[in-house]
Amino acid sequence: MMRRLLVAVAAAFSLAALAAVAQERVVNVYNWSDYIDPKVLEEFTRETGIKVRYDVFDSNEVLETKVLAGKSGYDVIVPSQTYLNRMIQADVLLKLDPSKIPNLKHAWPEITRRLATYDPGNAHAVNYMWGTTGIGYNVGKIKERLGTTPIDTWNLVFRPENLAKFKNCGIHMLDAADEMIPAALKFLGIDPDSKKTADIEKAGALLMQLRGNVKKFHSSEYINALAGGEICLVVGWSGDIFQARNRAKEAAAKTGKPAVEIDYALPKEGALMWFDSFAIPKDAEHVEEAHIFINFMMRPEIAARNTNFVAYASGNLEAQKFVDKEILNNRSIYPDQATFKLLYTVTPYAQDVQRVVTRVWTRVKSGR
């Protein structure tokens, strides 16, 4: 939290400094942490002469709070699905000018179509990366406890007797009601997008049985916890889990100790899809530069380089020609057709339903 605060303060100072040199062309980008190949940014500046002022966040809530507070100072932001939708409802996002983003033609039609659930008519956002919410695990510790039983199923998480097997090596879950409740509903065979109070309560009751085994509900701490061997199982975001895998490798390289082996499983029953997409706030000062930036990022070669760097699937279909085979063939990153059909999206909760969800979720977290 303090780190976010420091980032925010640093950002405020740098923006003030930038305002002083108004002549220089700049674009202020606010993206997720560890989410881009830094060389791509250098290349953008070299080619366009537009300086990139790049800041990072690690939660959608922080992004939304800043943008809704107004005058965030950012020209390009990267909200995820439901947050994107709330920002559109709050009328704080600019309608993009497609004529300034000719590279939109490389977008992945299927992804664009699904993104329209959150951005009607695809008027405000261009997908950058997408992924799924599934199971991250410590390969060694899970094998010890499971043997050859498959891990790519929600049975592992949502059957209390199964989950209990991993209690003694540490379990984390996302602190995100709008991800965990749909996943529980999916397991129960109920429509994950259900907005009925009774269904949400059922999901809550299931999660309530599991909570005793869960060490912590948190949306970012699991990256380090998984990499450091503090936990062995997490319901988390695909990309974060791959990031944990990389951190474990880096740590092993530094210390010379054997690396903690980490992997991600996409449950075969289906999983929630998430989309991180470029958008421009209405109060952005460099709208022209923001469009140029988004267009640059949509170049297939550039999009592929980012995917190769961070190991998430790109929303850019043409980019697949340039994506490393290792990533393209990883079924947990680029699922096969059969799995792809099982991936689902959910629509945002209305304000009154959101209250119910919040209550149920707080009860789950605190056990009361």
Partner 1 sequence: MRRLSARANDIGRSRLVVAGPYLWLLLFFLAPFLIVLKISVSHDVIAQPPYAPVLDPSKGWAGMREFVGGLDLQNYAYVFGDAIFHESVLQSLVIAAVSTLIILLIGYPIAYGMARAPRRLRPLLLIAVILPFWTSFLIRVYAWMGILAREGFLNQTLRALGLIDEPLELLSTNTAVYIGIVYSYLPFMVLPLYAVLEKTDESLLEAAADLGAPPWKSFWLVTFPLSLPGIVAGSLLCFIPAVGEFVIPDLLGGSETLMLGKTLWTEFSVNRSWTVSAAVAVLMLIVLVGPILVYQHMQARSFEGGR
The site for partner 1 (CB under 8 A) is made up of 1-2, 59, 61-62, 64-65, 67-70, 86, 89-92, 168, 170, 175, 211, 214-217, 228-230, 351, 358, 362-363, 365-368
- Sorted by sequence, the CB contacts under 8 Å of residue 105 that are 6+ apart come out as none
Q: Which is nearer to partner 1, 104 or 208 (CB)?
A: 208
State the nearest-atom distance from the C-beta of 323 to partner 1, in Å: 34
Closest distance of CB 132 from partner 1, Å: 22
Q: How far apart are CA 185 and CA 191, in angstroms?
A: 6
Nearest approach, Cβ of residue 38 and partner 1 (Å): 26
Cα separation, 234 vs 136, in Å, equals 5
What's the min distance (Å) between Cβ of 206 and partner 1? Answer: 16
Q: How far is the CB of 89 from partner 1 (least distance, A)?
A: 5
- The residues that bridge with 236 in the sheet, in sequence order, are 134
- Residue with smaller CB distance to partner 1, 69 or 198: 69
Q: Quote the distance between the C-alpha of residue 151 and its chain's center.
A: 22
SS3 206: helix
Tokens of 193: 């997008």
Give the nearer residue to partner 1 in terms of CB position, either 86 or 114.
86
Q: How many CA atoms lie within 13 A of 250 on its CB side?
A: 8
Nearest CB to partner 1, comparing residues 219 and 314:
219
How far apart are CB 203 and partner 1 at their closest, in Å?
A: 17
Tokens 């390289």 locate to 253
Q: Is 168 left (phi over 0), alpha (psi -120 to 50) or beta?
A: alpha
56 Cβ contact partners less than 8 Å away, ≥ 6 residues apart: 7, 30, 31, 32, 33, 34, 35
Q: Residues near 322 by Cβ (< 8 Å), separated by ≥ 6?
A: 300, 301, 304, 305, 308
**Is residue 264 classed as helix, strand or coil in its secondary structure?**
strand
Contacting residues for 27 by C-beta, under 8 A, at least 6 apart = 50, 51, 52, 53, 75, 76, 286, 289, 290, 292, 293
Cα 137 to Cα 233: distance, rounded to the nearest angstrom:
4
Nearer to partner 1, 59 or 122 (CB): 59
Q: CB of residue 349 vs partner 1: minimum separation in angstroms?
A: 11
Residue 195 backbone dihedrals phi, psi, to 5 degrees:
-110, 10
- Cα–Cα distance measured from residue 85 to residue 327, given in angstroms and rounded to the nearest whole number: 29
Report the residue number, 266 or 346, with the smaller CB distance to partner 1: 346
Least Å distance, CB 170 to partner 1, is: 6
